[in-house]
Amino acid sequence: MSFMERTDDFNTRREHLKKMSDEELRAYFWSLVDKIIQPIVEEAKTHTTPSIERSVLLRMGFSSLEAKPIVNKMLEKGILGHGAGNLVLKLAQKKGMSVREAGLCLMRGEYWEDLPL
């Protein structure tokens, strides 16, 4: 079995990396990762989905049967971008009630006009 020599430009492209130490290579790698991830992070700051917002409410202690109507109503009202969990929490603070109580009130159609947007 004979091996063929690489005909690509790997050695040329890696020239700027040759003189870097392991620590410098590691730092360079993570700087490239940051460049790749930054647009995704920025997108996540301004965009959400009903699925994500239901997941947040589930982690706040609501059941899926409770989270779904809250998120659907927020989506319908065009306020889901404020974050379902955030809105439920702020309503609870504003009304002096527990987060669960605030979410259940929203589920029943109460206090929608009191949401702090």
pLDDT tens digits for range 90-99: 999 999 999 9
pTM above 0.75, yes or no: no
Report the pLDDT value the prediction gives residue 7, as an integer from 0 to 100.
Answer: 75
10 Å CB burial of residue 107 (0-12, 13-18, 19+) is middle
What are the average pLDDT values for consecutive 10-residue runs of the chain, which has 117 residues?
75 89 96 93 84 96 97 95 95 97 98 93
- In angstroms, the first-to-last Cα distance of the chain is 70
Report the pLDDT value the prediction gives residue 57, as an integer from 0 to 100.
Answer: 97
Dihedral Cα 33, 38, 43, 46, nearest 10 deg: 140
